[in-house]
Amino acid sequence: MNNIEENIVLLNKYPNRRIFEHRFHEHLSKLFTYKLILSNVELNNFNVSTYSGLEQSVIEHSAFFEIHEPKEVDWDSIDKQKILFKNHLKLLLQNGHYDNNQLWITCTINTIENWLIYKSMYPETINNPWSPLIEIYNHGLVHFISDDVLEVANLKRGIFNGKNEQFIGNISYLVKGVGKNINGLIVDDRYKLQTVVFNFLREQAPNHKSVINLKLIREFLILNNIKMSIEEIQVKITTPLKKTGFIGSSQKGFFFISDQEDLLVSYCFHMSKIVSIQHIMDKYIDRAKKDFDNYDLNEECNNPF
Amino acid sequence: MPENTYMFDHAKDDSSIQNIELGCGCGNFGQVFYPKCYLIDNNVDLTTNCNPLYINFLCSAYDLPWENDRFEMVIICNPWNYGFSDPDESSILLAKELNRVLRQNGILTILGNKYNKYCIPQRIKKTLDNCGIKYQIIEEISSDDLGLEYYEGYIFKSSSGISTIVNVRLMIKIEKLNEN
């Protein structure tokens, strides 16, 4: 994600969860990497205070994770861009269905500013933690983040129903376009569980020769009164942990990457998966050419909504 | 501890305390380096999450419960989610409130990180200019060793529990030629 739409058109229909759910968790995972690596303090609630603190830590400690030194930030340029985006959003939302536009504008502009700052610091990076939120914005949605239960419940009725009730105290992420429909999600306990499993792997699977498989991770969680299916563990815990770059896997299981050899083992394992998947993709492209009149799968795949 | 323990009460105000740190979090920076200092924050969760807990009062930096011209020094230490990120709006509110509680020629001391959008020196100065507040820059330091040089042994932390890096210090004398 290198660019932000300067003149977006806000979505005029109900915000589909597919637009924002995965991307929002991708954003949180990028922030959360800092907590996993730089602080072993356990996570209680993932509230606004924790979220804000992570934003701050990312900006300040980014040099720990980036290859290049940070560049100076042109604050005048950022101020000018903020004003342009703010005025554009005010214009788009003033004819909308919702009165309290300021909440949405302030939060969205805050994110845009963070993205601009990080991009100024590291123009070539692929690791900008706010890029996933910019993608959501480019799809025509503004957002609001809050842990105030009453405020969130007033905006999105029913968000705390059912099993979500147990996550009250965590941040909620709400989105809207120009219409009156608001969608959103409340952050569940996956980040707390990621901390638990990360520390477990760091101690019990310190390298590629001492691995722990999914079954053992599941048993470990059960011992800690946490019941999850293997699929849930993969989606919510182990795959995000691998994306930090500090947890690897091989055919035998998961491990903490502590040296070059660990990194190589995990890299080669994933490379073999990519090669295997590429064979499948190549077959689909052949079929698209032969049987479906040169249908451009790549182009269609990039615009699923 | 119940939250009302930390509500400000004019009857309990100690006039010998001339300094105040805003947004102290779980830390006690103001009291360690600027003795006779109140520590305030508006985050209610601190009363349950911090151990030890140093905060004196729960209140907002934008609406301080003290009278005009009360303090010699206001200290802001690496703020996040409040401060001077906008050249107008909330930044102006904050600047006016600080101007109100500071005495004539009182000092605003702001420590921060050079990438922290809430306390960039040029934004702070722009805000003060926009408010028509007369001021004089006493000191502006930018140094990666600032924390070690001036505050050795003190660990600055963000609300995520991760340490924060302080490498900019701005000290501003507020001249208060105009009433708010």
CA angle A77, A81, A86 (to 5 degrees): 150
Q: Which of A239, A242, A197 is nearest to A217 (CA)?
A: A197
Residues of A in contact with B142 (CB under 8 A): none
Backbone angles phi, psi at A59, to 5 degrees: -60, -45
- Does residue A55 contact residue A30 with C-beta atoms inside 8 Å? no
Q: Is the pLDDT of residue A294 over 80?
A: yes
Burial of B4 by CB count in 10 Å (0-12 exposed, 13-18 middle, 19+ buried)? exposed
Rounded to two decimals, the pTM is 0.91
Residue written as token pair 């959003």 = A89
C-alpha of A31 from chain center: 8
Q: For B16-158, where are the E strands, in sequence order?
A: 19-22, 37-41, 57-58, 71-77, 102-112, 135-142
Q: Calculate how close chain B gets to A222, using CA atoms only, in Å.
A: 27
Tens digits of residue pLDDT in A27-43: 999 999 988 888 866 77
* pLDDT at site B35: 84
Q: Which two tokens stand for residue A265?
A: 């083992």
Segment (H or E) for A161:
none
* pLDDT at site B45: 86
DSSP B157: B
Residue in A with minimal Cα distance to B118:
A56
Average pLDDT over residues A119-147: 95
Strand, coil or helix: B39: strand
Mean pLDDT (chain A, rounded): 92
- Is A52's CB within 8 Å of B162's CB? no
Q: Which residues pair with B42 in a beta bridge?
A: none
Among B residues 55-114, those touching chain A with beta carbons less than 8 Å apart = 78, 80-81, 85-87, 113
Average pLDDT over residues A180-197: 93
Q: Is the pLDDT of residue A46 over 60?
A: yes
Segment (H or E) for B173:
strand B168-174
CA angle B79, B82, B87 (to 5 degrees): 110
**Confidence band of A305 (pLDDT split at 50, 70, 90):** very low
Distances (CA, A) of A78 to A4, A98, A102, A134, B123: 13, 28, 20, 16, 11
Beta B71-77 vs B102-112: how paired, if at all?
parallel
Strands laid side by side in the B135-142 sheet: B57-58, B37-41, B19-22, B71-77, B102-112, B168-174, B135-142
Stretch among A54-63, A242-251, B27-36, B154-163 having the lowest mean pLDDT: B154-163
Residue written as token pair 């990120």 = B85
- What ipTM was estimated for this complex? 0.91
**Confidence band of B12 (pLDDT split at 50, 70, 90):** confident
Q: Is the pLDDT of residue B50 over 50?
A: yes
* pLDDT at site A162: 85
- Is A60's CB within 8 Å of B117's CB? no
- Is A34's CB within 8 Å of B117's CB? no
Cβ pairs A/B, distance under 8 A: 75
- Does residue B84 contact residue B118 with C-beta atoms inside 8 Å? yes
Q: Which residues pair with B102 in a beta bridge?
A: B71
Q: Is the pLDDT of residue B174 over 50?
A: yes
Average pLDDT over residues A103-111: 94
Q: Is the pLDDT of residue B178 over 60?
A: no
Q: Is the pLDDT of residue A253 over 80?
A: yes
**Confidence band of A165 (pLDDT split at 50, 70, 90):** confident
A154 touches chain B (CB under 8 A): no
Stretch among A57-66, A95-104, A165-174, B149-158 having the lowest mean pLDDT: A95-104
Q: Is the pLDDT of residue A190 over 90?
A: yes
- Is B160's CB within 8 Å of A56's CB? yes
- Is B161's CB within 8 Å of A56's CB? no
Beta A172-176 vs A182-186: how paired, if at all?
antiparallel
Distances (CA, A) of B154 to B27, B51, B147, B148, B164: 9, 16, 8, 8, 11
- Is A53's CB within 8 Å of B158's CB? yes
Average pLDDT over residues B131-156: 93
Q: Is the pLDDT of residue A303 over 60?
A: no
